[in-house]
Amino acid sequence: MTTPALELDELEVRHGAVQAVRGISLTVDRGEIVGLIGPNGAGKSSTLHAVMGLVPPGGGDVRLHGNSVVGRSPEDVARSGIALVPEGRRIFAELTVDENLRLGSAGRRFGDLDSVYELFPVVRDFRKRHAGALSGGQQQQLAIARALIARPEVLLLDEPSLGLAPQMVDAVFEALAQIRDSGIAILLVEQRAQRTVALADRSHVLANGRLRLTLGPDAANDTETLVSAYLS
């Protein structure tokens, strides 16, 4: 068995006295989308923050191609090949679209502009504009494009569909499928359980900081399972 691209091993996160993540283990391999779903406060974002080094894990390990990244600063994690599309997109509204893209490659090679443009034509069309002038959906595309520009090995997404119109959600999920096909490992945190389960190779349901259930794509239409997974 080869080592997976990203491996979470009994990861724990504490916020003061509150234990947000209580020992979760999962793997994401190249060309895979792994979903992480669950209600608000389940510990999804905390998991991503711990991977990125924004919060120090209370225990366990995070490995990229078998090498632990625990204890590194966020910028070093980013430089080692894990890119995060943060919640709320966090694009730089005051900078141009182009500058936002350039920032995506901070510290890493400036990647494949053409394939990014191909994936998100809007990013090319509005190159010189201030990013703040884009619509929400366009901003989300820019945020993903920015994460991809440095050709990361692992892509983490934190609620990319939040606040988007339905057509936009379609576009984003379609793009994710294409990114997977290019051989990148994707860990997708979402509230839209059904769509995530349908897209992902497997989806873990997270509740109270623990993995409750793992679902395959075929469970997407099994509403009953999904609901019970949430309520457990």
Partner 1 sequence: MTVDWQTIADAFGLGGMYALMAVGIGLVFGVLRLVNFAYGQLVMAGAYSLAFAYERGWPVWVGILLCFAVVIVLSVAMDWVVFRPLRTQTPAVMLVATFAVAFLLQSIALLWFGSLGKIAASLSSLNQPWTVGGVDIRKISIVATVVAAGCLLALVLLLGRTNVGLHMRAAALDFRTARLLGVRANRVIGTAVLLSGLLAATVAVLMTVQTPLVTPDFALRDTILVLAGVVLGGMNRLISATLGGFAIGFASGFLGGALPTNQSQYLPSFLFAAVILVLLIRPGGLFTRFGQQAAERV
57 near partner 1, rule: CB under 8 A: no
Cα atoms found within 13 Å of the Cα of residue 61, Cβ hemisphere only:
9
Nearest to 32 by CA among 224, 217, 223, 232: 217
From the list 79, 80, 86, 49, the residue with the least C-alpha distance to 65 is 80
Binding track over 29-48 against partner 1, x by CB under 8 A: --------------------
Nearer to partner 1, 75 or 174 (CB): 75
Interface residue with partner 1 among 84, 119, 193, 207 (CB under 8 A) is 84
Which listed residue (99, 153, 201, 222) binds partner 1 by CB under 8 A? 99
Determine if 146 is a binding residue for partner 1 (CB under 8 A).
yes
The piece of 7-15, 98-106, 133-141, 177-185 that touches partner 1 (CB under 8 A) is 98-106
The single residue among 56, 71, 107, 183 that binds partner 1, judged by CB under 8 A, is 107
The string of DSSP letters for 149-205 reads TT--SEEEEE-TTTT--HHHHHHHHHHHHHHHHTT-EEEEEES-HHHHHHHSSEEEE
Q: Is 224 helix (H, G, I), strand (E, B) or coil?
A: helix
113 lines the binding site for partner 1 (CB under 8 A): no
Residue 78 binds to partner 1 (criterion: CB under 8 A): yes
Per the CB < 8 A criterion, the answer to whether 186 and 155 are in contact is yes
Residue 54 in contact with partner 1, rule: CB under 8 A: yes
x/- letters, 148..187, toward partner 1 (CB under 8 A): --x-------------------------------------
Compute the distance between CA of residue 98 and CA of residue 3 in angstroms, rounded to an integer: 35
Written as one letter, the residue type at 26 is: L
Say whether residue 106 binds partner 1 (CB under 8 A).
Answer: yes
Among 27, 31, 103, 225, binds partner 1 (CB under 8 A): 103
Residue choice 23, 70, 72, 92 for contact with partner 1 (CB under 8 A): 92
**112 half-sphere exposure, CB direction, 13 A CA radius:** 11
Please give the torsion angle defined by the CA atoms of residues 133, 136, 141 and 145, in that order, rounded to the nearest 10 degrees: 60
Scan for tokens 């860990």, then name that residue.
Answer: 187
Asked if residue 127 binds partner 1 (CB under 8 A), the reply is: no
Question: Could you say whether residue 94 binds partner 1 (CB under 8 A)?
Answer: yes
Q: Which is nearer to partner 1, 12 or 158 (CB)?
A: 158
- CB atoms closer than 10 angstroms to residue 42: 24
Q: Which residues bind partner 1 (CB under 8 A)?
A: 52, 54, 73-75, 78-79, 83-84, 86, 90, 92, 94-95, 99, 102-108, 146, 150
